[in-house]
Amino acid sequence: MKKIIFALLFLPALLLAQQTSNELIRVKDLIPDIVLDLKYNTVNNFTHQKLYTTNECYLLLDAVKKLKVVQDSLRNVTSLNGVSYPKGLSIKIWDGYRPRAVQYLMWDIMPDPSFVADPNSGSNHNRGGAVDLTLVDRATGKELKMPTGFDDFTPAASHSFNLLTPEVKANRAFLLNMMVNVGGFQMYDAEWWHYNVAGAGNYPLQDFQMK
């Protein structure tokens, strides 16, 4: 009897464990129309160095499935805050999975925890559980007006920064609402562009190179 009770108690936990996967998958495989602009595959980033060898973006399967739900909704948003987007909106990803070796390289260039996660503890990007993104107009590919560009390490990057035009404030709030309430992601207060998949910290740090 004791054994049966034990099994019943732990059954939900076992089922949950089976549903989560550490697998990283190519985002484009599930969301072909997503826009990728991996800044670390260019010199246009805070290190001024090209740290990736590809524009392929990988994330945890769970994160990609949730992003797909967001992207499916964005395609139908043809007007926002008085601006018309006849072909709808799309996600543009600036960074996703980041090999841990790259985290060490960044730390060598800027060993400051307010800018870069210490590679010894790792970043959720090293787990494939964090994504940096913005929104674009599907008709023109142009980014919507947001408070800052990517990796802007100033107070203006924070969700609590409000010296913004009504349009910019509304765009940031719309992205937040889509990611948190539609996609189930968690926001990061210091960076409006960064979102974590729920429980990201429980996934392992990884170090394979994207191809």
- Contact residues for Zn ion, defined by CB under 5 A: 132, 194
Residue among 23, 56, 143, 191 flagged as catalytic: 191
How many CA atoms, within 13 angstroms, populate the side-chain half-sphere of residue 128?
Answer: 24
Q: In terms of CB distance, is 74 or 116 closer to Zn ion?
A: 116
Which one-letter amino acid corresponds to residue 187? M
Q: Count of residues for the chain?
A: 211
Spell out the alpha helix ranges (H) of 97-150: 100-109
Q: In terms of CB distance, is 37 or 132 closer to Zn ion?
A: 132
Q: Which tokens hold the place of 148?
A: 């800052």
Q: In terms of CB distance, is 172 or 194 closer to Zn ion?
A: 194
User: Least distance in Å: CB of 196 to Zn ion?
Assistant: 8
User: Least distance in Å: CB of 117 to Zn ion?
Assistant: 9
User: Least distance in Å: CB of 61 to Zn ion?
Assistant: 19
Instruction: Report CA-CA distances (Å) from 207 to 33, 36, 46, 94, 117.
Output: 27, 21, 21, 19, 15
User: Least distance in Å: CB of 194 to Zn ion?
Assistant: 4
Q: Which tokens hold the place of 36?
A: 């990728």
DSSP 8-state assignment for residue 101: H
Spell out the alpha helix ranges (H) of the chain: 2-19, 27-30, 61-74, 100-109, 166-177
Measured from each CB, the residue nearest to Zn ion is: 194
DSSP 8-state assignment for residue 157: G
191 is catalytic: yes
Q: In terms of CB distance, is 132 or 137 closer to Zn ion?
A: 132
Are the CB atoms for 55 and 36 separated by under 8 Å?
yes
Q: Which residues are catalytically annotated?
A: 191
